[in-house]
A and B are shown apart, each in its own frame.
Chain A
Amino acid sequence: SYELTQPPSVSVSPGQTATIPCSGDKLGNKYACWYQQKPGQSPVLVIYQDTKRPSGIPERFSGSNSGNTATLIISGTQAMDEADYYCQAWDRSTVVFGTGTKVTVL
């Protein structure tokens, strides 16, 4: 079955850039999405179709997808961005989520 791998954790200082990779076989040939989940809350879509931001999502969130890796970039990271982040893709009639990355803003 298809797998998406993310680092368990990423640390970033306030105002700096956080980069969260998501790896999967030929992931660049598929669309990738990203979700943010804060403790005790439901997930929120922050990036879809590799690079698009839903309305209401700050511009500091951006995405890319090429080769075997999709990447979520948070520019000018704020304390409110501390959360778990999950990538997601579609493979052979199945939705696959990544393993999740906890972003800590130190």
Chain B
Amino acid sequence: EVQLVESGGGLVQPGRSLRLSCAASGFTYDEYAMHWVRQAPGKGLEWVSGVTWNSDTTVYADSVQGRFTISRDNARTSLYLQMNSLRAEDTALYYCVKDISTTISGDLAFGVWGQGTMVTVS
């Protein structure tokens, strides 16, 4: 069974940092691009960042560019999101998401989602 389990969320003060982790299992992890998508309480979906299968390309939403860093460890089948200079508007449920492809391009789609980890900046 394909599983994505996020951890690392919590309550943090504005300006501080937090690191999210995602443990993947049930599929060949190094064959897929991975992403983080967030959802503020009662709001819609917002893509945050993505990384290709071999980490040669990382992409970010304008809202987090320069503050957040995505990374992956294929040996540990894990995905990470380092979040610095956190703001109140970063408060959201953060989902770890598996792409349907190895690369990040126009035909991407988010095939599997974790349950999310909540980040509250206050």
Q: Contact residues of A with B, CB < 8 Å?
A: 1, 30-31, 33, 35, 37, 42-45, 48-49, 54, 86, 88, 90, 93-100
Contacts and interface: CB of A to CB of B under 8 A. Distances in A.
B106 A90 contact: yes
Q: Which 7 A-B pairs have the closest CB atoms?
A: A95-B47, A48-B109, A42-B113, A97-B45, A100-B44, A33-B109, A90-B106
Decide if the interface of chain B is mainly helix, strand, loop or mixed.
loop
Contacts of B106: 30-31, 90
Given A31-B107, A88-B45, A100-B45, 11 more contacts: A1-B62, A30-B106, A31-B106, A33-B110, A90-B107, A93-B59, A94-B59, A94-B61, A95-B50, A95-B61, A96-B47
Contacts of A95: 35, 47, 50, 61, 108
Interface residues of B, number: 22
Interface string B90-114: 0000010000100001111111011
Decide if the interface of chain A is mainly helix, strand, loop or mixed.
strand
Contacts of A49: 107, 109
A42 B114 contact: yes
B73 interface: no
Given A1-B62, A42-B95, A90-B105, A97 B44 contact: yes
A69 to B, nearest CB: 18
Contacts of A54: 111
A75 B114 CA distance: 28
Nearest to A34: B109
22 contacts: A31-B107, A33-B109, A35-B45, A37-B45, A42-B95, A42-B115, A45-B100, A45-B109, A45-B111, A48-B107, A48-B111, A54-B111, A86-B44, A90-B107, A94-B59, A94-B61, A94-B62, A95-B47, A95-B108, A96-B47, A97-B46, A100-B45
